[in-house]
Structure 1
Amino acid sequence: MVSTFIGHELKAFWRSKNTGKSIAIRVVMGLLILYLFLNVLVVGILLDKMLEGMFPDEDLVKAFCGIILIYFLFDLLMRLQLQELPTLRVQPYLHLPIKRNALVRYLALTAALSVFNLWPFVLFLPFVFKVVGPDSGALVSFAFVVAIAGLTVFNNYLALYIKRKSNLNGWVFLIAAAVLILIITCDFRWHLFSTRDISYAFFGHLITMPVLALLPFVLAVVMYYLNFHYLKQNLYLEELTAHKKVSYKSSTDIPFLSRFGRVGDLAANEIKLILRNKRPRSALIMGLFFMFYGLIFYTNKHYGENWYLFVGMFMTGIFIINYGQFMFSWQASHFDGILVSKINFTDFLKAKYLLFTLVSTVAFFLTTPYVYFGWTILLVHFVMYLWNIGVNTTIVLFFANRNAKRIDLSKGASFNWEGVGATQMLLSFPLILTPYIIYLPFALFKHANVGLAVLGTIGAIFILTRNFWIKKLEEDFVQKRYTIAEGFRNK
């Protein structure tokens, strides 16, 4: 049955309209991965020399045992960000006489075919065969290989389990990432405990008790069956049943948004889309990292005050730029349903404005501590906040009507250029350059505050006339909606 599934996947790939582009991307990715493998292999071969330099007073095997668990800790953090979930379109098989276990087994086993599972072997096995084997014998070397393999498989299925749970509840991913970051901080920053000591306590005992290598193997098996059970329980979506009673839910799971009625419902659905899918969620997470952007510019006198405009725009509007450049593409998989549904497109656009306003407002309040570097900075942030939710939001939605590039939400965010086109490149120019075109003439004649006042006034005018711009955007969308829908259908 596995061979049948693989055959169907290959046929779907070769029959896709974007096969040529996919092959080109895979060739480039293959060359990049091969280059990374060669680098890791060199590190693995020279690992004994590197450990001698890093820990000159320690036994070489002891130093090696101390870094293994540290590697797998960072490996898990990297998998949560970069590893993609294996997918199979199960709906076409649900009405066929195919056992659920066969479908689930295929998804569970193909999850092991990840390039991340090869890194630890390429990195650690050269040291095991060069140092551990001659020093402690073949049995101990085999125990190390089994333990490393067990932890690799455990990390693989633990990361997938967290990501699958995150698809239903986005907070699961954030909590898991926060726990890992807290563990790393408690060790390397606050020194509350030592991961090296814990690592050596286990791997050091493998030399005298090789049977302990079965413990990571057992953990890997347990995690595999947790994934297997979770997939089996969630193979059939409750929404597919014809007997489910349909009722309209006027409020959302986010009580604050319920006061906005249907617009709030649409905004809440988009928030759920962001939290449950990797690529849009990465746009939100990147926005949080950009909150530290000011520390680069405000603490360095080399950058003048003209840079404040750029920094303020990015910190209060990075989500609008990152997420907004793919606007409508996020709904590509169900865009046809939106067109034929009872959703008023005016409400649809208002929901976009509401989402951007909420996120930018939170970002503005998070940047208020930068007032420590001067009240001018807070003023610039407020002006650019008004500009972002007024002007930049309108520009983003204007270019959204000219974007027909599809995005598959089931794919990960790493090395994923799906949906990127000329529209995104053109969008960056008005977003970044327009405020400077207005501000710089005033700044050059020593009237920077007047320039800020003009920017803030324009932003406020766009906010107050938002209904006018929504009407114009809706008229523009009506003319282009079929072109957009046709583009989204191309897979």
Structure 2
Amino acid sequence: MRARQHLFVWIFLGIMSLCLGFILVTTGWFFDRFSILIQPGVEPAALINRFLLPVFLGLFGLRFLFQRTPARYLRPYLHLPVARSHLIRFFQATSLLSLHNIGPLVFLLPFWSRHVLGVYPLPGALAWLTGIVMLLVAANFANLVCRTLLARHERSFLFFLALLTALVYVDDLAGTRYVQTYSAHLFDTLLQTQISTLLLVLLLPVWTTLASGHLLLKQLRRAEEIPASTRRWSLPRFLRRGAYSPLVLLELRLIVRNRRPRHYLLISLLFSTLYLIFLLASPFTRGEVILGGVIGLFASGGFVLNYGQLMFSWESSFFDGLLVRPLAPRRTITAKMLLLQGSCLVLFLLSAPLFLWLKPALVPLHVAFLFYNAGITTVLVLFLALRNRQYVDVSRSGAFFNYEGFSAAHWLWFFPTAVPPSMLLFVMRDAPATGLLWLGGAGLVSLLATPLWITLFTHLFARRRRGMAEGFRRRRHR
């Protein structure tokens, strides 16, 4: 049965990849028809040169979140009689085959063949394509540099990231568009075969390759792992009362004291603040309904979608010990439900001033999604978490996004969570207030039915907990 499920998932992902590849190839080949709609009278190459660098920066953000680093694959081979520098170079080379490098070329190669090659002199066309490839290689190894720096200097890196994000936002808000201007200058001079620009794009990947290799080697030579945080803290006394507060406090301590769950908390806070500013400040009109759904879902439900998916897996190292404690399953489920629902309220309060400042018209959407996330998203995510069987090492240091414990179901689960509210808002786009009322009302009804959901999840947990423990043990000892 499980083999059939995996086969279905791979077939589905294969079909989706083929469709996406066809769209990218077609768009690149017939880009001249789209450029007329975007900016008439401008050559396709001149138009796309303005946006290549901003697009690469955006793709670098996705690469930083999702691309796996060679450090994850190096450790099982360290006992072999092979020099570590050779292992690093081998896995650096294999990382170039990532979809993050191949995907942009699926669009850019047809574009280059149709709109650059034969239109501009051959040396300029080859220099332009070389610049594209070299920037992708540089981005690949720059991602390794950023992840390694983050693992060793977390606070400094996050401060620098916040500062860079603020500068890019100010550039966009002020209308100066320095990034677009520099992008146009960079690729226009490549088309003119300017030697200094070509040397720059050739030296950049060399530097990032050497820097990433040096940092990875230095990281492997560290004798000890970064110890887990031993900071002691507790909730205020009035919050420590009740039957569920100790369990909630225990989960919060797990988050704060361990690197990986703490990163999920940080990314949720960053999305609800810094990234939300970009989304709210953008002048979206045509895709306002869909984008509004995404904004509302993550603004108050980011922690649920990030951290909640791996609930119970976070405790896989000591899950057997939890099972033998005199703790009723209902208390465990209730505490986790309260933590997820409480996170929705906290993120709602943190992001509400941004909605009031940048997009006051979206405040009703923010309120409606508060009820939807607290009432429905938490239920869907906790139902998924009760199917977790994969071990997660919460103390492992390293990359910012370590996807140990994730399966295809975790990625596909986003669709039943995000698509229904977006589709409802799209269908009710002519009566948005009614759509938000239906959305918030459904969430409120589900929120009021929390005791019923807790009863259901308690039965599921009591029935599945031994299978979960067996899966955690089996995968831990592999």
Question: Aligned partners of 1:184, 1:126: CA distance in 2, in Å?
Answer: 30
Instruction: Report the equivalent of 2:105.
Output: 121
Q: Is the 8 A contact 1:62 1:204 kept in 2?
A: yes
2:214 pairs, out of 218, 226, 229, with 229
Instruction: Report the equivalent of 1:95.
Output: 79
CA drift of 1:167 comes to 5.0
CA drift of 1:74 comes to 2.4
CA drift of 1:39 comes to 1.2
2:92 pairs, out of 108, 111, 126, with 108
In structure 1, runs of 5+ residues without a counterpart are 1-16, 295-312, 427-452, 463-468
Question: Aligned partners of 1:455, 1:18: CA distance in 2, in Å?
Answer: 31
Instruction: Report the equivalent of 2:255.
Output: 270
Q: Is the 8 A contact 1:407 1:419 kept in 2?
A: no
Q: Does 1:26 align with 2:10?
A: yes
Aligned to 2:47, the other structure's residue is in SS state helix
1:330 pairs, out of 295, 313, 319, with 313
Instruction: Report the equivalent of 1:318.
Output: 301
Question: Aligned partners of 1:42, 1:161: CA distance in 2, in Å?
Answer: 34
Q: Is the 8 A contact 2:74 2:88 kept in 1?
A: no
Q: Does 1:73 align with 2:73?
A: no
Aligned to 2:409, the other structure's residue is in SS state coil
CA drift of 1:24 comes to 4.1
CA drift of 1:152 comes to 0.8
In structure 2, runs of 5+ residues without a counterpart are 241-245, 281-295, 393-400, 418-443
Q: Is the 8 A contact 1:325 1:396 kept in 2?
A: no
Question: Aligned partners of 1:455, 1:31: CA distance in 2, in Å?
Answer: 35
RMSD over equivalenced CA pairs, Å = 5.7
Query: Residue type matched to 1:154 in 2?
Result: A
Instruction: Report the equivalent of 1:192.
Output: 176
CA drift of 1:148 comes to 0.8
CA drift of 1:397 comes to 11
CA drift of 1:199 comes to 1.6
CA drift of 1:485 comes to 0.8
Instruction: Report the equivalent of 1:161.
Output: 145
Q: Does 1:143 align with 2:127?
A: yes
Instruction: Report the equivalent of 1:410.
Output: 402
Q: Is the 8 A contact 1:170 1:275 kept in 2?
A: no
CA drift of 1:196 comes to 2.7
Question: Aligned partners of 2:407, 2:310: CA distance in 1, in Å?
Answer: 19
Q: Is the 8 A contact 1:65 1:199 kept in 2?
A: yes
Question: Aligned partners of 1:397, 1:117: CA distance in 2, in Å?
Answer: 32
CA drift of 1:327 comes to 5.2
Q: Does 1:209 align with 2:194?
A: yes
Query: Pairwise mapping of residues 81-480 of structure 1 onto structure 2 (< 5 A)?
Result: 81-86=65-70, 88-166=72-150, 178=162, 181-182=165-166, 184-206=168-190, 207-210=192-195, 212-235=197-220, 238-239=223-224, 249=230, 251=232, 267-271=252-256, 272-276=259-263, 318=301, 321-322=304-305, 326=309, 328-331=311-314, 335-340=316-321, 356=340, 359-366=343-350, 402-406=386-390, 410-411=402-403, 416-418=408-410
CA drift of 1:43 comes to 1.6
Q: Relative to structure 2, which stretch is displaced further, 186-195 or 82-91?
A: 82-91
Question: Aligned partners of 1:481, 1:323: CA distance in 2, in Å?
Answer: 22
Q: Is the 8 A contact 2:271 2:298 kept in 1?
A: no
Instruction: Report the equivalent of 1:301.
Output: none
Instruction: Report the equivalent of 1:40.
Output: 24
Cα distance change, pair 235–29 in 1 and its aligned pair in 2 (3 A): farther
Q: Deviations over 1:95-127 (max 9, x none)?
A: 342322233223322221111212333333344
Q: Is the 8 A contact 2:101 2:136 kept in 1?
A: yes
Q: Deviations over 1:210-261 (max 9, x none)?
A: 4522312211121122222222222266556xxx9x9993626x9999x989
Q: Is the 8 A contact 2:272 2:350 kept in 1?
A: no
Q: Is the 8 A contact 1:43 1:123 kept in 2?
A: yes
Q: TM-score, normalised by structure 1?
A: 0.61
Q: Relative to structure 2, which stretch is displaced further, 67-76 or 260-269?
A: 260-269
Question: Aligned partners of 2:169, 2:175: CA distance in 1, in Å?
Answer: 8
Q: Deviations over 1:272-303 (max 9, x none)?
A: 433436xx876666766899999xxxxxxxxx
Q: Is the 8 A contact 2:313 2:389 kept in 1?
A: no
Q: Relative to structure 2, which stretch is displaced further, 77-86 or 114-123?
A: 77-86
Question: Aligned partners of 1:63, 1:394: CA distance in 2, in Å?
Answer: 44
Aligned to 1:73, the other structure's residue is in SS state helix
Q: Does 1:51 align with 2:32?
A: no
Query: Larger radius of gyration, structure 1 or 2?
Result: 1
Aligned to 2:260, the other structure's residue is in SS state helix
